[in-house]
């Protein structure tokens, strides 16, 4: 029986929640100070209909703070331009695409947040209702582990081989490779590799926050379609409702459609160049200072970083000082390697 555990790392400027499946990260939820409350998953809003597109059965809505969202509607429930509706966020904005919402009913007043999205602790409990939430250093280590795995492209498979997960603008491509997986029966080896790849793909897609159209390029020929379909249904069951699984095609690929709800982890942590943003690096720096400060109680600590990272880290360090005392400093250096963070005790 699979066991899920919950972890919550509450640090300065950011909270990270992790769900593990049999000891391995399965979901990584990230919430940062300053995130727009009006586009968080599960938030309930009053929104004004800005434009109706009958050809697509969709409407563009104006949210609080000048944000926008997209809403689909049924033919007999077409909204009216200028109408104020109560809506709930069904998926967060991603890659330049708008958040999507569903209508609940009419509303009055101005666009605003009626009820904020559930907090991270409540979101975690939804995945494992009877599990306790672990915090502290253990949670931070688990969140760091989940973050690192979520940003990898190649992932080893239990028993040998690996899968590569690469999102594109149109879909997510997953390639299965046997690698050094060996056995006397080649057909059995490839069958087991494909079944393992399906289970691992489901976990990793949830961890990375990826969805939409997914194409799985299986290994071998003459696939056991029934076994693959049974495994896929079980593996992607936690992503329901909305999962659609196609049979193995003649080219040896399996096509799936998985609902997108939250933002992809890579989109939160990295910029368009695929590298961590200055904010991500600043948050990592502050966590490093906090962790060292908890071990070296009373010591004065200095963190070396680039000037851009220091600029974003400074107000966060001021918050850290309020908690642990004014014993933290920054040492900006334009020649410092961008992603390197080094904390020194004085």
pLDDT at 1: 67
pLDDT at 221: 84
Q: How many CA atoms lie within 13 A of 280 on its CB side?
A: 19
pLDDT in tens, 174-183: 999 998 767 6
- Tell me the pLDDT of the chain averaged across its residues: 94
Could you tell me the CA-to-CA distances from 152 to 147, 149, 172, 230, 272 in Å, in that order?
A: 9, 5, 14, 27, 16
Please give the share of the chain, as a percent, with pLDDT higher than 90: 90
DSSP state at residue 87: E
**Strand partners for 19:** 6, 27
| Residue bearing tokens 């904020």 | 116
The dihedral built from the CA positions of residue 59, 40, 213 and 266, taken in this order, carries a sign that is: positive
Please give the share of the chain, as a percent, with pLDDT higher than 70: 99
pLDDT at 171: 96
Greatest mean pLDDT among 1-5, 100-104, 177-181: 100-104
What is d(CA 150, CA 187) in angstroms, rounded to the nearest whole number? 31
What is d(CA 157, CA 200) in angstroms, rounded to the nearest whole number? 7
Of 231, 228, 234, residue with least CA distance to 247? 228
pLDDT in tens, 175-234: 999 987 676 677 888 999 999 999 999 999 999 999 999 999 999 888 889 999 999 999
> Out of 21-25, 94-98, 312-316, which region has the weakest mean confidence (pLDDT)?
94-98
Is the pLDDT reported for residue 303 higher than 70? yes
pLDDT in tens, 35-84: 999 999 999 999 999 999 999 999 999 999 999 999 999 989 999 999 99
pLDDT tier at 96, thresholds 50, 70, 90:
confident
pLDDT at 187: 84
Strand 44-53 and strand 58-62: the pairing is: antiparallel
Strand 301-305 and strand 328-332: the pairing is: parallel
pLDDT tier at 253, thresholds 50, 70, 90:
very high
What average pLDDT score do residues 114-129 get? 96
pLDDT at 188: 86
Continuous segment of H or E residues that includes residue 320: helix 307-324
pLDDT tier at 92, thresholds 50, 70, 90:
very high
Is the pLDDT reported for residue 283 higher than 80? yes
The strand ranges marked E within 116-248 are 133-134, 154-156, 162-167, 172-177, 212-217, 244-248
**Residue 41 in contact with residue 91, Cβ under 8 Å?**
yes
What is d(CA 65, CA 37) in angstroms, rounded to the nearest whole number? 10
pLDDT at 222: 84
Is the pLDDT reported for residue 298 higher than 90? no
């Amino acid at each position: 029986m699979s066991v899920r555990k919950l972890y919550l790392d509450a640090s300065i400027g950011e909270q990270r929640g992790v769900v593990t499946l049999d000891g391995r990260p399965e979901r990584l939820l990230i919430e940062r100070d300053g995130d727009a409350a009006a586009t968080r998953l599960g938030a309930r809003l009053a929104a004004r209909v800005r434009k109706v597109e009958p050809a697509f059965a969709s409407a563009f809505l104006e949210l609080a703070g000048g944000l926008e969202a997209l809403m689909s509607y049924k033919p007999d429930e077409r909204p009216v331009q200028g109408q104020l509706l109560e809506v709930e966020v069904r998926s967060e904005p991603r890659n330049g695409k708008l958040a999507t919402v569903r209508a609940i009913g009419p509303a009055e007043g101005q666009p605003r947040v009626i009820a904020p999205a559930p907090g991270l602790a409540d979101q975690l409990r939804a995945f494992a209702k009877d599990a306790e939430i672990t915090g502290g250093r253990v949670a931070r280590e688990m969140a760091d582990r989940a973050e690192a795995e979520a940003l990898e492209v190649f992932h080893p498979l239990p028993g040998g081989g690996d899968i590569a997960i690469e999102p594109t603008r149109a879909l997510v491509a997953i390639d299965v490779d046997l690698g050094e997986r060996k056995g006397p029966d080649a057909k059995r080896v490839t069958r087991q590799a494909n079944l393992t790849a399906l289970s691992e793909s489901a976990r990793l897609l949830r961890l990375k926050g990826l969805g939409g159209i997914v194409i799985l390029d299986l290994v071998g020929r003459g696939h056991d379609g029934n076994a693959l379909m049974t495994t896929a249904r079980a593996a992607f069951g936690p992503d329901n409702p909305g999962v659609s699984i196609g049979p193995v095609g003649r080219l040896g690929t399996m096509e799936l459609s998985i609902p997108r709800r939250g933002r992809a982890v890579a989109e939160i942590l990295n910029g368009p160049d695929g590298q961590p943003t200055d904010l991500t690096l600043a948050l990592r720096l502050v966590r490093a200072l906090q962790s060292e400060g908890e071990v070296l109680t009373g010591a004065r600590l200095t963190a070396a970083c680039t000037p851009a990272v220091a600029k974003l880290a400074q107000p966060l360090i001021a918050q850290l000082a309020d908690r642990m005392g004014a014993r933290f400093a920054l040492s900006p250096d334009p020649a410092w390697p961008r992603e390197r963070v080094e904390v020194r005790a004085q």
